[in-house]
Amino acid sequence: MSNVVVFGAGGTAGSRITAEAVGRGHRVTAAVRRPEATSYLPPAVTVVTGDATSERSVRELAPDTDVMVVAIGGGEHDLWVDAAQNLVGALRGMPAAPRIIHVGGGSTLLTPKGTRYLDEPDFPEEYRDAARGQADALDFYRSSADGVTWTYVSPPPLEFHPGERTGHYRTGGDQPVTDHEGRSVLSYEDLAVAIVDEIEQPRHENARFTAAY
């Protein structure tokens, strides 16, 4: 059993990660900006006010924590980078520092041409700023996160929606995992399964992975 803090536990991804972890017997603290709006989380969850971009918040929650999951959401570029930089800065050098699992965007994955999905001409402009923030956060982990243990998780770039928990998925690295039709599909529920599996049996330390059916 692990002690897990989930930043953004009230969101679409975070709530499913929280429920999956609690369902497997882990102790989960939901760190959210509005605790009063999380009545739908499992009763076993400890809900606190928390912010992944606050050094004080991270330091207060870090003791006795094994893993900090970042499942925040937002359309601003700086949010993603600020969270990554703050977590690494707050945890670096801390005795028995928690591992970071950062849920990022699928648009940072590579197309068959080797370019990022977010750099494609037809990528929706309204999502580009957030996508670049997610990409910059990944670059920061890869270049500047010495002294901490991290994992960056990317869902499929297009077909990623709430749905059924099957408990099945396949993993990959920097390119989407595709089926025999070339589709990369995953539910939020099975992304949560993949993340809790990674908590229980780390396979992608200091690396990015993606998952799909």
CATH of the domain at 41: 3.40.50.720
Confidence of residue 80 (pLDDT cuts 50, 70, 90): very high
Q: Does the pLDDT value for residue 40 go beyond 90?
A: no
The dihedral of CA 11, 15, 16, 18: what is its sign? positive
Confidence (pTM): 0.94
CA 40 vs. chain centroid, Å, equals 20
Q: What pLDDT is stored for residue 35 in this prediction? A: 85
Q: Looking at 40-184, which runs of residues are DSSP E strands?
A: 46-49, 67-70, 99-103, 150-154, 159-161, 170-172
Q: What pLDDT is stored for residue 151 in this prediction? A: 98
Give residue-wise pLDDT tens across range 166-189. Answer: 999 999 999 999 999 999 999 999
Rg (C-alpha) for the chain, rounded Å, is 16
The dihedral of CA 199, 38, 141, 116: what is its sign? positive
For 7, the enclosing helix (H) or strand (E) is strand 3-7
Q: Does the pLDDT value for residue 38 go beyond 90?
A: no
Range of the domain at 70: 3-212
Residue among 64, 82, 56, 61 nearest 7 (CA) = 61
- 191 vs 202: CA distance, rounded Å: 15
- DSSP labels, 99-125: EEEEE--GGGSBPTTSSBGGGSTTS-H
- Domain count for the chain: 1
Q: Does the pLDDT value for residue 75 go beyond 80?
A: no
Mean pLDDT across the chain: 95
Q: Do the beta carbons of residue 196 and residue 26 sit within 8 Å?
A: yes
Tell me the residue length of the chain.
213
Q: What pLDDT is stored for residue 39 in this prediction? A: 82
- 135 vs 140: CA distance, rounded Å: 9
What integer is the mean pLDDT of 133-159? 95
Residue among 207, 147, 200, 141 nearest 173 (CA) = 207
Give residue-wise pLDDT tens across range 92-136. Answer: 989 899 999 999 999 999 999 999 999 999 999 989 999 999 999
Q: Does the pLDDT value for residue 74 go beyond 90?
A: no
